Structure 1
Amino acid sequence: MSTAIEPRLTSLAHGGGCGCKLAPAVLQDILRGMPLAGPFADLMVGTETSDDAAVWRLNDQQALVATTDFFMPVVDDPFDFGRIAATNAISDVFAMGATPILALALVGMPVGVLSTDTIGRILQGGASVCAAAGIPVAGGHSIDSVEPIYGLVALGLVHPDRVLTNRGARPGDVLILTKALGVGVLSAAFKAGRLDVAGYAALIGSTTRLNTVGARLGEQAGVHAVTDVTGFGLLGHALEMARGAGLTVELTAAPPRLDGVAALLADGVRTGASARNWAGYGAAVDLPAGLEASTRDLLTDPQTSGGLLIAVS
């Protein structure tokens, strides 16, 4: 079924991509009364350090990695929205050093507002990414919702001795970031009708590139910790890595920017999530005197389907 006129996907959502995440301070307040996962002998990674996925030891040779991620549209093209959401969800499996094996679709759509053709294209986009990752979409769940929501449950396997977490960094490690920053800025510009063709290409190119290198990092000597940089921005996820290891992190290099981001920042394009991120964890960050406000805003910019942050000796 199709409808004659459909609204833009982004017009149906109050936020988009990983910028939809609850603000760090709000999430912390909500979870304050939640008990930890508990003393399960085979639960290797739970909720203690805000890691990218849960890990359950199956036997001496295999551990199961389980994660879920979903959000509202960051672009209007339904196929691209599906691709971005699926890439983002599978990234958490790669961030644990695991190989993905299976996905389940999570679908919430305003039926009657969006056509079944459009909703189908979203799912097809997600399925295309899963196919590229070598995994099936083996099922899922759907609801009728006011705003369009799509994502995946993603499962993976890893050797128990090769699990990578966000808490293993060691003093003197170097941090490597595998994707440039600025997805939130580009997304905000797109929603405001201010993103040019080159900027859109940069947005799609970054957010649909799978972090497949993560599956091989557990085999590499000297790799101590990994996380993916998403809704809390580079500063927020680096802070989680530092806290997990009981260390501090020093960022000295200029943050890499996606094409077009510098000009948009100079024109005042920002996301509300960037300010919420800084409000949530800024008190734990020491900024050098004279740092440009645009640089701080880039460091807190929410990254939908961002790169891996790797601590390596």
Structure 2
Amino acid sequence: MATEPIKLTSFSHGGGCGCKIAPGVLSEILKNSHGFPVPKELLVGIETADDAAVYRLNDEQALIATTDFFMPIVDDPYDFGRIAATNAISDVYAMGGTPIMALALVGMPVNKLPLETIGQIIKGGESICAEAGIPIAGGHTIDSVEPIYGLVVMGLVHPSKVKRNADAKAGDVLVLGKPLGVGVLSAALKKNALGEEGYAAMIANTTKLNKPGKALSELAGVHAMTDVTGFGLLGHLLELARGANLTARLEMARIPLLPGVEQLAHDGFFTGASGRNWDAYGKDVTLAPSVTPAQHTLLTDPQTSGGLLVSCAPETVDEVLALFAREGFGDAAVIGAMADGAPRVEVA
């Protein structure tokens, strides 16, 4: 008698970056936290909800430290490991750095998952680390109710080349490196409504390392950078706007989308995180009447291993787009601009 294949997603109440605690809830949790004295060497900490911490080592080097982990977004264990590792490493690229080492974070229901399945998850993560040119130098494992996998990642960057999410300037152009729609595809997958082409597009998008981040940090015209993950495009762009005390203006028609996701969103495939995201920050967003409910969903859609969001001077845009294209990010596109005004997002 054939054994039913293991469905990793059946073990988790949510998958990928859709597992993130909603922005509003997170703010409530942290509101009474009292910071310790900050050493001058700490170039980036928690003050602007940036992608990673950055600590100055000397005049030529700063250490980037970050961590990310989540529950399965797909059923294939090898793909799950690859996606989680790509997502974790992305934060180093988003700061303009080069990853140098990783530690694995592994929590697995060892009495429910075959050891071979757990091994495939870890192997998938190792394959992405090899692609990034870094070792997994250690880690920690626990017996967990739900499968959890991710990495602690460390990187290096020149102190003067750190790209924070708070340094955008009025007049900057916004460029998005990857198309949106991962959360919508994952919702369709969980309901057995995603075809082979959709799955292939999802895996290709979520396992593409954001390597252009390092080269982008070398461009003087690139002022700010982050990556779009669990809070959706609107959420991470709001962090950019709040950090710079500027208004971000998006053009919906220019935002790249994964194939078929607009129709899937229209048909009701979306994650619970999309609504939680909007509830947390919708008061600071203005949507034009032309924005459809499906497009609205995609703007708040949690992106697992999403693209880099770059704020750059207008004269640098062509160079930024060319750099993305050379690295295989052909969907990278100009999606809007930063302007003087209250920190919010306006979508036309």
Counterpart contact for 1:37–1:47, Cα < 8 Å: no
Counterpart contact for 1:46–1:54, Cα < 8 Å: yes
**Aligned counterpart, 1:223:** 222
Amino acid at match of 2:164: T
Q: Secondary structure at the match of 2:179?
A: coil
Counterpart contact for 1:6–1:114, Cα < 8 Å: no
Deviation at 1:278, TM superposition (A): 0.1
**Aligned counterpart, 2:210:** 211
Deviation at 1:5, TM superposition (A): 5.1
Q: Cα RMSD between the aligned structures?
A: 1.2
- Percent identity of equivalent pairs: 64
**Aligned counterpart, 2:285:** 285
Amino acid at match of 2:56: R
Q: Label 1:111 to 1:6 Cα distance change in 2 as closer, same or farther (>3 A).
A: farther
Aligned counterparts of 1:264 and 1:18: Cα–Cα separation in 2: 19
Q: Label 1:253 to 1:264 Cα distance change in 2 as closer, same or farther (>3 A).
A: closer
Give a deviation string over 1:54-101, Cα, whole Å, max 9, x none: 000000000000000000000000000000000000000000000000
Deviation at 1:256, TM superposition (A): 1.4
**Aligned counterpart, 2:154:** 155
TM-score (norm: length of structure 2): 0.88
**Aligned counterpart, 1:262:** 262
Gaps of 5+ in 1: none
Asked if residue 31 in structure 1 is aligned to residue 43 in structure 2, the reply is no
Deviation at 1:289, TM superposition (A): 2.2
Matches of residues 84-123 of structure 1 in structure 2 within 5 Å?
A: 84-123=83-122
Deviation at 1:266, TM superposition (A): 2.0
Matches of residues 57-96 of structure 1 in structure 2 within 5 Å?
A: 57-96=56-95
Give a deviation string over 1:88-135, Cα, whole Å, max 9, x none: 000000000000000000000000100111001000000000000000
Asked if residue 167 in structure 1 is aligned to residue 166 in structure 2, the reply is yes
Q: Secondary structure at the match of 1:128?
A: helix
**Aligned counterpart, 2:341:** none
Amino acid at match of 1:134: G
TM-score (norm: length of structure 1): 0.97
Gaps of 5+ in 2: 314-348
Q: Secondary structure at the match of 1:55?
A: strand
**Aligned counterpart, 1:302:** 302
Aligned counterparts of 2:121 and 2:294: Cα–Cα separation in 1: 34
Asked if residue 276 in structure 1 is aligned to residue 305 in structure 2, the reply is no
Aligned counterparts of 1:207 and 1:85: Cα–Cα separation in 2: 9
Aligned length: 311
Deviates most, 255-264 or 156-165: 255-264
Deviation at 1:216, TM superposition (A): 1.2
